[in-house]
Structure 1
Amino acid sequence: MTQPHGALLVGSVNYDDAEKTLRTAAEVLGPRLKRIPDGEVGRRFHWIMFQPDVLGEAEGIERIGAEPVWLRDLDARPLRIADGADPSSLQLPPLGYADAAIESYEIFRRLRDEGAIAEGVRFQVSLPTVVAVVGSFFFGDDRAAIEPAYTAALLRELEQITGAIPADDLAVQWDVASEIGIIERASGYGRTMEAWWDGDPFEGLVSRLVDLVDAVPENVEAGVHLCYGDAGERHFVEPSDAGTLVRFANAVVSGARRDLTWLHLPVPIDRDDDAFYAPLAELVPVGELYLGLVHREDGVEGAERRIAAASKVVPAFGVATECGIGRAPAGTTEGILETHAAVATAW
C-alpha cells in the first residue's frame, strides 16, 4: 500500500477564529502541511452563503422574497437584477474575501514569527468560482447579465490579495463544486443545475475555470479543489466513479497556461472498490495530488481501506477530506485532523 505523503486542508475548519485554526493545524499536522487556510471563519462558515448579503447591498440588485431565509445569521435569499437596472453599469461592493484574507494573514505571520508555524509553510486562500455564486443565487437571463460584473469583482479580490500578501507566502485555491453538478446534471437547491451560456456546457465550464487559474500570478501557488457538494454532509449526486473528475481536471490542466500546484479530488466514504479509482490511471500529471478519502465517520480504518484501493492506480498522493470540515459536528475537528496525521507522512 502506498504511504501518502502530506495532507491538504481543503478550506473550512469548524473553529470559531482563524488563530485557533492556524495554530491547531500546525500543531497536529506539522510537516505534513505545505499550506494552511484560516478555516473560513466568521460569515464565510458556510462557503458562499454570505454572498447574497454582500451583493444585495448593490444598487440595482434586489432580494427575491419578502422574508429572510436565515442560515444562522445569514440571509440566504437569492437575488435578481432590478427592473430598469443596466447590468453593464452595476457597481458591486467588495466581496469580503480579500479583507478576510489580509486580516488572517497578519495572524498567520505573527504565529510564524512566534515559531508556531514553520518557515516555508504558505497561507492558503480559498475562493469560489463565478459559476458557483452566479449559478446559486441568480436565475434565468440574470445569470448571463451578472456574470461579467461578478467576474470583475472576484478578480479585484484576487488582485487585492496578491497585492497585499507576498507571493512566496501565498497559495490560492479555487473551490469547484457547482461545475461538477452541472456536468452531472445534478439537483442542487431543489432544481437541476444547468449552464446559462450558448455552446457546450463542459467546454464553457473548463474555459471559465482555466481563466481563473491563469489569473493567479505564476509566483503564487495555485490549486483546484473539485467537489460533489457538501450540503448537510451529503453530495448533490453520488459519482459512479472518478471519471467525471478526471475528465474535467485533465481539460483544465491541459488548457491552463500556468502549472497547477495541486489538485484535490473527493472520494466518497463507501468507495474502496477498484471501479471508483480506475479512471485515475488517465489523470494527467500535476504537482501534487490529494485524494479526499479522510472521513470523520470511520477515521483511520476507513481512510486506510481507501488508501489501499487508490494505491493500486495512483503511485503518489496526499490525503484530505472530501470537502471542507467547517460544518462537521462540534467536537469532531481535532479527531479529523488527527486522522490525517495518522495516515500520511511528512513531506
Structure 2
Amino acid sequence: MTQPHGALLVGSVNYDDAEKTMRVAAELLGDRLARIPDGEVGKRFHWIMFQPDVLGAARGIERVGAQPIPFPAGIDARPLRIAPGADAAEIELPPLGYAAAARESWEVFRRLREEGVIAEGTRFQVSLPTPLAVVSSFFSGDDRAAIEPVYEAAVLRELDEILSGIPHEDLSIQWDVASEMGIIERAAGYGKVMDAWWPGDPFDGLVARLAALVDAVPAGVEAGVHLCYGDAGEKHFVEPADAGNLVRYANAVIAASSRPLTWLHLPAPIERDDEAYFAALADLAPVAELYLGLVHREDGAEGARRRIAAASAFVSDFGVATECGIGRAPAGTTEGILRAHAEVSSPR
C-alpha cells in the first residue's frame, strides 16, 4: 500500500477565527502542509451563500421574493435577478469580499510565520469559487448568460487585488469547483442549468471556463483545483459512480490550461473503499501534487487507510485530504479530523 505524503486543507475549518485555524493546523499538520488557509471564517463559513447579500446591493440587481430567506450567520438566501430595464453589461458590482478577507488573514499568517508558529516556506492558501458557481446558484433563465461575464470580471478583480497585496512567492490560489461537477453529472438541480444556458453538451464550455481561471493565476503563484460534490449536511448532491468524470474533467482542464497546475484535489466518498471507484486514476494526467479526499470524520484513520489501499492500485504518489472543507463538521470534531490526516500520511 502506498504511504501518502503530505496533506491538503481543502478550505473551510470549523474554528471561529483565522489565527486559531492557522495555529492548530501548523501544530498538528505543519510538516505535512505546503500551504495553510484561513479556514474561511465569518461570512465565508457557508461558502458562496453570502454572495446574494453582496450582489443584491448593486444597482440593477434585485432579490427574488419580498421576504428574506433566513440562513445561518444572518445571511439572506433569496436568489437574484437582473432588474427590469437594466442592462447587465452596465451593472457595477461591489467588492465581493474575498480579497478583503484574504488580505486581512494574510497579515495574521505573516505574523505567525515571523513568530515561528508557521514554518518558513509554507504558503498562504486562498480559495475562490468559480464564477459559474455563483451565477448558476443564484440567477436563473436568461439572466445567467447576461450576468456571467460581469460576475467573472468581478472575481478576477478580487484575484488581482489579492495578487497586489500578497507576495507571489507566499501565495497559493485554489479554485473551488463544485457546480461544474453537478452539471457534468446532471445531478438534480444542476442537470437542466446548462440546457437553458446554451445548447448541446456543456462539457467543453466548462473546461474552457476553468482553464481560463487557472491561467489567470500568474507564474510564481501556485494554482490548485479542488473538484467537489458538495457537503450540505455532510452529503453530496450526487454520489458519483466512480472517479471517471473527475478524471475526465481534470485531464481536459490540464490539457487546455497554458500553465501547469500546482495541485489537484479529487474527492472519495466515504462508502467507496473499493478499487472500482479509483480505477480511473490510472488515466489521470500528470500533476505536480495530487491529493485524494479520502479522510472522513465518521471513520477517521481506519477508513482512510482502506481507501488509500484501494487507490494505491492505480496511483502511487499522492497526499491526503478530506473530500470537502470541514467548516460545517460538527463542533468539537475538527482536531480529530486533522489528526487523522497526520496518522495516515508522512511529512511532505
Q: TM-score, normalised by structure 2?
A: 0.98
Judged with a 3 Å threshold, the aligned counterparts in structure 2 of structure 1 residues 198 and 159 are, in CA distance, closer, same or farther, namely farther
- Counterpart in 2 of 1:40? 40
Native 8 Å contact 2:26 2:118 kept in 1:
yes
Which amino acid in the other structure matches residue 53 of structure 2?
A: D
Residue 328 of structure 1 aligns to a residue whose secondary structure is coil
Unaligned stretches of 5+ in structure 2?
none
Q: Distance in 2 between matches of 1:62 and 1:198?
A: 27
- Counterpart in 2 of 1:140? 141
Which amino acid in the other structure matches residue 256 of structure 1?
A: S
- The offset of 1:274, in angstroms, is 1.0
Q: Distance in 2 between matches of 1:30 and 1:101?
A: 20
- The offset of 1:194, in angstroms, is 2.1
Q: Distance in 2 between matches of 1:286 and 1:231?
A: 29
Q: Distance in 1 between matches of 2:187 and 2:200?
A: 19
Aligned pairs (5 A) from 1:101-250: 101-188=102-189, 192-195=191-194, 196-250=197-251
Matched-pair identity in %:
74
What are the Cα deviations for residues 50-70 of structure 1, in whole angstroms up to 9, with x where unaligned? 000000000000000111111
**In the alignment, structure 1 residue 26 sits paired with structure 2 residue 36:** no
Native 8 Å contact 2:185 2:191 kept in 1:
no
Q: Distance in 1 between matches of 2:132 and 2:87?
A: 21
Q: Distance in 2 between matches of 1:199 and 1:183?
A: 12
Which amino acid in the other structure matches residue 295 of structure 1?
A: H
Which amino acid in the other structure matches residue 92 of structure 1?
A: L
- Counterpart in 2 of 1:58? 58
Q: Distance in 2 between matches of 1:84 and 1:272?
A: 54
Q: Distance in 2 between matches of 1:177 and 1:15?
A: 23
What are the Cα deviations for residues 188-211 of structure 1, in whole angstroms up to 9, with x where unaligned? 4xx645221344300000000000
Residue 15 of structure 1 aligns to a residue whose secondary structure is coil
Aligned pairs (5 A) from 1:326-337: 326-337=327-338
- Counterpart in 1 of 2:89? 88
Count of aligned pairs: 345
Judged with a 3 Å threshold, the aligned counterparts in structure 2 of structure 1 residues 324 and 193 are, in CA distance, closer, same or farther, namely farther
Please provide the CA RMSD for this pair.
0.8
- The offset of 1:183, in angstroms, is 0.6
Unaligned stretches of 5+ in structure 1?
none
- The offset of 1:107, in angstroms, is 0.1
Native 8 Å contact 2:184 2:191 kept in 1:
no
Q: Distance in 2 between matches of 1:93 and 1:57?
A: 8
Native 8 Å contact 1:294 1:322 kept in 2:
yes
Q: Distance in 1 between matches of 2:77 and 2:39?
A: 21
Native 8 Å contact 1:8 1:290 kept in 2:
yes
Native 8 Å contact 2:243 2:278 kept in 1:
yes
